[in-house]
């Protein structure tokens, strides 16, 4: 869509598409659910390294996408990343993004997850207003059916929803978790027996630091 808008000189649509992607897909979703891994996983952790690879792909794509409409800003960003490189962002070709195996099916599954995440967020919001929970991390969620999302593990859904726990049930319901809060990642997990203690992951990361 970006390329079509650029070739048609529809720069208003081009800018809107780029802004929507940055705000809705990246800031409100990807960064929101992956910051825990980026901040708290060990530097050598394969999941964290995978997300860093995604960030690198995003950088090289976004700086090129931004160049036609944010000429000077895109150049400053490129030079700050590669200060010893004599080239310019405006010499770069349109990005060729890596293909994802079973990309269509993966896209459908994440569309389902995002839709369910919105439902879960809406269910948590009244409890936040009533101060039953201070954040979604203090919530345990039951979702109506996990079968369309199989074989995604409940732990991965909990990460995507930013909640303490996800279990299957007859309807979307939310309760306050009894799990205690890790003092490092702030997640509420069953192995944490007292607020402020470290969960197993954080304990290992800190011990190896």
- pLDDT tens digit string along 11-24? 999 999 999 999 99
- Indicate the pairing of strand 165-168 with strand 188-189: unpaired
Question: Does residue 151 have a cis bond before it (omega within 30 degrees)?
Answer: yes
pLDDT digits (tens, 9 = 90+) for 108-158: 888 989 999 999 999 999 999 999 999 999 999 998 766 566 557 888 899
Nearest-5° Cα angle at 53, 47 to 55: 105
Q: Please give the pLDDT value at position 149.
A: 64
Torsion of CA 77, 81, 86, 91, to 10 degrees: -50
pTM: 0.84
d(CA 193, CA 201): 14
pLDDT in tens, 50-69: 999 999 999 999 999 999 99
Residues forming beta bridges with residue 176, ordered by sequence position:
139
Q: How far apart are CA 56 and CA 50, in angstroms?
A: 10
Write down the domain spans for the chain: 2-91, 103-178
pLDDT class of 84 with cuts at 50, 70, 90? confident
Q: What residue has token string 């995440």?
A: 117
Q: pLDDT category, 98, cuts 50, 70, 90? A: confident
- Higher-pLDDT residue of 29 and 168 is 29
Average pLDDT, the chain: 92
Query: Which residues are bridge partners to 173 per DSSP?
Result: 142
Cα dihedral sign for 77, 82, 86, 91?
negative
CATH of domain 103-178: 3.30.2320.20
User: What is the DSSP code (8-state) at residue 23?
Assistant: I
């Amino acid at each position: 869509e970006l390329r079509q808008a650029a070739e048609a000189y529809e720069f208003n649509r081009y800018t809107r598409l780029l802004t929507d992607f940055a705000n809705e897909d990246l800031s409100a979703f990807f960064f929101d659910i992956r910051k825990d891994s980026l901040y708290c996983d060990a530097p050598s952790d394969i999941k964290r390294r995978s997300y860093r690879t995604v960030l690198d792909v995003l950088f090289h794509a976004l700086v090129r996408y931004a160049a036609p409409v944010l000429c000077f800003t895109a150049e400053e960003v490129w030079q700050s990343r590669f200060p010893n490189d004599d080239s310019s962002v405006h010499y770069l070709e349109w990005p060729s993004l890596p293909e994802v195996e079973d990309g269509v099916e993966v896209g459908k599954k994440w569309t389902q997850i995002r839709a369910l995440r919105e439902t879960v967020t809406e269910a948590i919001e009244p409890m936040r207003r009533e101060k039953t929970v201070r954040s979604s991390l203090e919530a345990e969620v039951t979702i109506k059916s996990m079968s369309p999302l199989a074989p995604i593990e409940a732990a991965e859904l909990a990460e995507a929803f930013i909640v303490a726990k996800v279990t299957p049930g007859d309807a979307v319901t939310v309760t306050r978790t009894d799990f205690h809060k890790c003092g490092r990642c702030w997640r509420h997990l069953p192995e944490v027996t007292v607020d402020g203690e470290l969960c197993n992951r954080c304990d290992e990361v800190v011990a190896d630091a």
